[in-house]
Amino acid sequence: MSIIQKKLKISVIALNIILIFFVLGVFNVTAQNYSRQFQINDFYEFTEYSDNIDNIHVNQTINIPIGSDRWTVTGIEMNFSEIKLEREIKIIEDGGNGWDEIKKGLYALGAEIEINEPTELFGVEIHGALQEGVPINPLYIQIQGYNLGPDTPNGTILAETPLNMSKSFTWYTQMFPSAIALSPGQYYLVFNGSGILPQDKSIHIWTYNDDDPLYPDLHTSHFDTSWSTGTIGSPYRYKLIQKVNRSYNPEDINMTAVINATKYTISNGSVAGTGVLNIPDLNLNLTNTTLEIPVENNISVEMEFELGYRINLINNFFSPAQIVIQQGTTIQWNMFPNLQRTSEHYNYSIEFRYPDSWTNLEILRNNQDISTEVNIDEINNIIKIYNETILSGSSWQISANSPNLQFGITIQQSTYEPGQLIGFSVNAPHQSGNLTFIFIDSSGFLFYNETRVTAIQNLFNYEISNNPIEGRYYALIYWNNHTDAGLVVQEYNIIIPFSFTKTELVLIVTGSISLPIVGVLTVQSIKSSRRKKEAVRQKIYNKYQDVLNLEHIIIADKRTGLDIYDESISGKGISASLITGFLQAIRSFGIELTNSDRESQTIKLEYQNSKIIMAEFKNLRTTLIMKDAPSQDFVDAVKNLSEEIEEKYHAHLENFMGKTTAFKNLNYFISKHLNTGLIYPLKLNLTRKTRLTPTQKTIVQRVKSIMKQNKTDYFYVSQLFSEKKGFQMEYGESILKLIDKGIFFQKK
């Protein structure tokens, strides 16, 4: 073998080794440290307790104001006193078919009333009818005194009301204008027709019971020119509408309280006329703001009584919470309950039961630690906050820590190429919980996430796009349930395979034949040149891609919060004040801070389907909303834009109070840094004298043709790219240079 052949063989072997290492690379399968925080929004259950205590006067139905229908009644204690019948109808006679007539010549009929206890009389019911005619003058129903000797009415009228009666044989109610108080004794109920005129032909009937009377010893009397001596045995039919001044024992009248269609027996109290009701294990969900409890008895008479009660109330409500997960530190649990002081209930308190794994509990009220002012039961894991500690309108936060649970993942490899499938399995700490897989690209943006319930086999797969950004990616897998959480981070490398052109392979082989070292250097030179050229091309592509993703630009004065520039690129009509207010509110939640110092910081965050860049520099805040994640060059350009605006408009920003006329030329700086000229209409400067490349000349000719065809003096960059060929890198680069040279400029 000749020396040249040996050199060629060695060169080929060396070249193969270089290519193998370059194409395949070397990778290590290890979990990586990653400092980014992630928050999980959740809700935690709190319990509020309260007692409703009062003394009220009740007529038949108990109505207890609760103030809110959110409560559940868990217990009732009631003490009844002065239990009395309200208005009742006492039947004196209810049977019999005989009757007497009241007509011309027989002007009145009377029935004895016997009162055995102090009674309040409201009216009476009598049974009869108007047999014929209509009286000229009214007749009256009266209560008169009793003439003891002849057992007749004595003529003293205690109460009266005009007769209410028609032609049907039935009961007719006669109510007095006001109730009369009757002490025990005898009285007379008088059906008085003394006003009947001689020409009056009306006839009224009052029925009586001569068959089996309830009170056969009650006297009756009739009047023609005087009252006849009272007789017994056939009392008239009537009922008394009365109220007696007597206390009742609940059990004597089968007194019950009806709660949610269930009857609860009221027991006798320690003294006459009192009762008690205790229901310790109740589960009654309120449907309105008043607890209504009807009270029944076996004599169907309305009752009145004095009531003292204690109603035990409970309500469960949910507080928004946030779980903060970060590798290398403990899990942080934050609850933000809305607690309000109450004055309508007694013994009001809030209770939260926390898991065994939580430690370092801290209770903040208005951002001040008041842990010593609440009851933290570390044995039973209960936090109890009493009403006197609650200040209405205050903000609350309950924080705790738990261990960052470790769990394992199994991966296939850590280096991938475009279009390949990333796959791994997760060994979750517990069966109950959620597993979330998050993928972060090399620019730091979250571009994929998936959450699923923990299963026996937890397999995750994600397909790399065919045109990814090359670099270091992170897969974050966190598990959580309602009490514990943990995080594992895995680093991946996404590489775009390197390939040689035919010309480059000839150079490599030629160099290897002449001298192996030259061959190696040729490979390295080609790779270095290729990387530089690819980096330039990537920057050009990014400029177009970033500006096409741009949806909204907001520039605001950080000190006042007022907008000095607001433009919707996508035409969606987003409210600038709403966005800036939202961003200000969440600056401390779910954000990544870069280049952070006293004067400047850049914030990147994801919200719903948008990517948001917020750059702050001194008094200026620049916010951009984008459809997709921008390149790092664009993020840097936003920072540079903020710095130049601050530099040019420093004096105006110092004294800014909302007047934006001084900032009318901001679009020049925006176009300069963000290349927005690529989406705005552009005009052609034909007077500008500068040397153009053949490609640039071709583009200018195309612009003239487009404007002539559309009969406009402007054009759009998108019109220069054909749908068939798509984005042409050479055109893209030339258009940017034509803008830089002033050949293309933005239409105003």
440 and 382 in a common domain: no
pLDDT of residue 579: 57
| DSSP-derived 3-state class of residue 666 | helix
| Residue 183 DSSP one-character state | -
304 and 288 in a common domain: yes
Tens-place pLDDT, residues 113-145 = 999 999 999 999 999 999 998 999 999 999 999
pLDDT of residue 319: 94
106 and 165 in a common domain: yes
105 and 190 in a common domain: yes
In this predicted structure, the answer to whether residue 15 has a pLDDT above a threshold of 60 is no
CATH number at residue 142: 2.60.120
216 and 108 in a common domain: yes
- Does pTM surpass 0.75? no
| DSSP-derived 3-state class of residue 2 | coil
670 lies in some domain: no
273 and 251 in a common domain: yes
Residue 13 CB: number of other CB atoms within 10 A?
Answer: 12
H or E, element range at 585: helix 576-585
| Residue 725 DSSP one-character state | T
Among 262, 296, 312, give the residue marking a domain's end.
312
Backbone angles phi, psi at 10, to 5 degrees: -60, -40
Tens-place pLDDT, residues 39-53 = 888 999 999 999 999
Cβ contact 168:87 at 8 Å: no
| Residue 342 DSSP one-character state | -
Helix axes 3-24, 502-514, angle to 10 degrees: 130
Average pLDDT in the 182-205 region?
94
| DSSP-derived 3-state class of residue 385 | strand
| Residue 464 DSSP one-character state | P
- Which residue in this structure is represented by tokens 């008043």? 290
Count of domains observed in the chain: 7
pLDDT band for position 582 (cuts 50, 70, 90) = low
226 and 167 in a common domain: yes
pLDDT of residue 17: 36
| Average model confidence (pLDDT) across the chain | 83
390 lies in some domain: yes
483 and 439 in a common domain: yes
In this predicted structure, the answer to whether residue 548 has a pLDDT above a threshold of 90 is no
657 and 696 in a common domain: no
Among 348, 375, 402, give the residue marking a domain's end.
402
pLDDT of residue 299: 80
Q: Give the type of residue at 559.
A: R
| DSSP-derived 3-state class of residue 505 | helix
215 and 138 in a common domain: yes
Reading the block at residue 390, the tokens are 């609650």
Cβ contact 577:563 at 8 Å: yes
674 lies in some domain: no
pLDDT band for position 337 (cuts 50, 70, 90) = very high
Nearest residue to 43 via CA among 279, 226, 291, 317: 317
Tens-place pLDDT, residues 486-519 = 999 988 998 887 655 555 555 555 555 544 544 4
- Bridge partners, residue 157, by sequence: 144
pLDDT of residue 529: 55
Percent over 70 (pLDDT), the chain: 82
Helix axes 729-740, 694-710, angle to 10 degrees: 80
Nearest residue to 205 via CA among 134, 135, 140, 132: 132
In this predicted structure, the answer to whether residue 355 has a pLDDT above a threshold of 90 is yes
pLDDT of residue 718: 73
Among 368, 402, 436, give the residue marking a domain's end.
402
pLDDT band for position 32 (cuts 50, 70, 90) = very low
Residue 636 CA, distance from chain mean position: 39
Contacts 24+ apart (CB under 8 A), 218-221: 218/92, 218/111, 218/112, 218/113, 218/114, 219/111, 219/112, 219/151, 219/152, 220/109, 220/110, 220/111, 220/112, 221/109, 221/110, 221/150, 221/151, 221/152, 221/153, 221/188
In this predicted structure, the answer to whether residue 722 has a pLDDT above a threshold of 50 is yes
CATH number at residue 547: 3.30.450.190
547 and 469 in a common domain: no
| DSSP-derived 3-state class of residue 75 | strand
Tens-place pLDDT, residues 261-296 = 999 999 999 999 999 999 999 999 999 999 999 999
206 and 129 in a common domain: yes
428 lies in some domain: yes
pLDDT band for position 198 (cuts 50, 70, 90) = confident
Tens-place pLDDT, residues 426-439 = 998 887 899 988 88
Nearest residue to 382 via CA among 41, 47, 42, 51: 47
| DSSP-derived 3-state class of residue 311 | strand
CATH number at residue 485: 2.60.40.1930
pLDDT band for position 727 (cuts 50, 70, 90) = low
pLDDT of residue 16: 43
CATH number at residue 381: 2.60.40
List, in order, residues 6 or more apart from 122 with CB less than 8 Å away: 87, 175, 176, 179, 241, 242, 243
What is each CA distance from 12 to 5, 512, 526, in whole angstroms? 11, 7, 17
List, in order, residues 6 or more apart from 680 with CB less than 8 Å away: 671, 746, 747
CA dihedral 491, 496, 500, 501 (to 10 degrees): -170
Task: Tell me which residue range forms the domain holding 490.
Answer: 405-494
Tens-place pLDDT, residues 532-543 = 555 566 666 677
600 lies in some domain: yes
Residue 348 and residue 388: Cα distance in Å, rounded? 9
368 lies in some domain: yes
DSSP secondary structure string, 590-630?
S-EEES-SSSEEEEEEEETTEEEEEEEETTEEEEEEESSPP
pLDDT of residue 209: 94
In terms of DSSP bridges, do strands 485-494 and 415-416 run parallel, antiparallel, or are they unpaired? parallel
Q: Rg of the Cα trace of the chain?
A: 48
Q: Give the type of residue at 284.
A: L
64 lies in some domain: no
672 lies in some domain: no
